[in-house]
Each structure stands twice: as structure tokens, then as C-alpha cells.
Amino acid sequence: MTILEAIKSSTVYPVPVVNIEKMCIDRGLDKDMEYTQEIGSSQSYRLATADLYLFLYASNSITEQEVKISVNEKDRYKDLANAIYGEYDDPKYTGLTYGFIGEGLSL
């Protein structure tokens, strides 16, 4: 399995290969190189995977066999990406978002 195939296998949703190729280039990975456990735990590979998760979060609408990514799934992809970005202090890290639910809140 190549690095490109390994990144692509991180989701069941269709992602254009050209987007994954760009993620590999941006993170200094050779998309055609054989995937290994060492590569899978590397910073570059993990950040490329986070880029894939962020792509899925930011996508307008992705459908696989008539099933769309739900809002909850999109949020999960964003959280996964942020966890990896935060681990490596990547500039794409947006931090955690907090909200308040309760009484007596007014604008």
C-alpha cells in the first residue's frame, strides 16, 4: 500500500486524489512511497491525515452511496484534525471551542 492509499483509507467518503496528492506534497511526503508503521506514526503523515479530516469538515457536501456526512461527523472530523494539529503546534490548529447553555444568558 502506498502513502496515498493509506491516507485515502482514513475515510469511507470519496476525496479527489488530486487533493490527497496536494496534502502529501504540502507535508513533504512521497505519495508513491510504500506505507510503513514508521511512516504512519510520523509527524508528516499524521499532519497529512489531519489535513484530510479538515478537508472533510470544510467540504460543502460529500455523499457516498446516498449517505451524506452529518453535522456531527463533520464536527468529529474537525476535532480529530485539531487534536493532531495541536499535538504538533501546527498553524492550522484552531484550539478548542467552548459554548454555554443555560438560563439567564442575554445578548
Residue 103 domain flag: no
| Interval 39-48: pLDDT, tens | 999 999 999 9
> Under a CB-based contact definition with an 8 Å cutoff, are residues 40 and 96 in contact?
no
In whole angstroms, give the CA distance from residue 102 to residue 107. 13
Is position 29 within any domain?
Answer: yes
Asked if residue 106 belongs to a domain, the reply is no
Q: For residue 11, is it left (φ>0), alpha (ψ between -120 and 50) or beta?
A: beta
Q: Which of 52, 71, 50, 58 is nearest to 12 (CA)?
A: 52
pLDDT at 102 over 80: no
Residue 78 lies in domain: 3-87
Total structural domains in the chain?
1
Whether residue 1 has pLDDT greater than 90: yes
Structure confidence by residue, pLDDT tens digits, 48-71: 999 999 999 988 766 666 667 788
Pull the grid cell for residue 24.
502529501
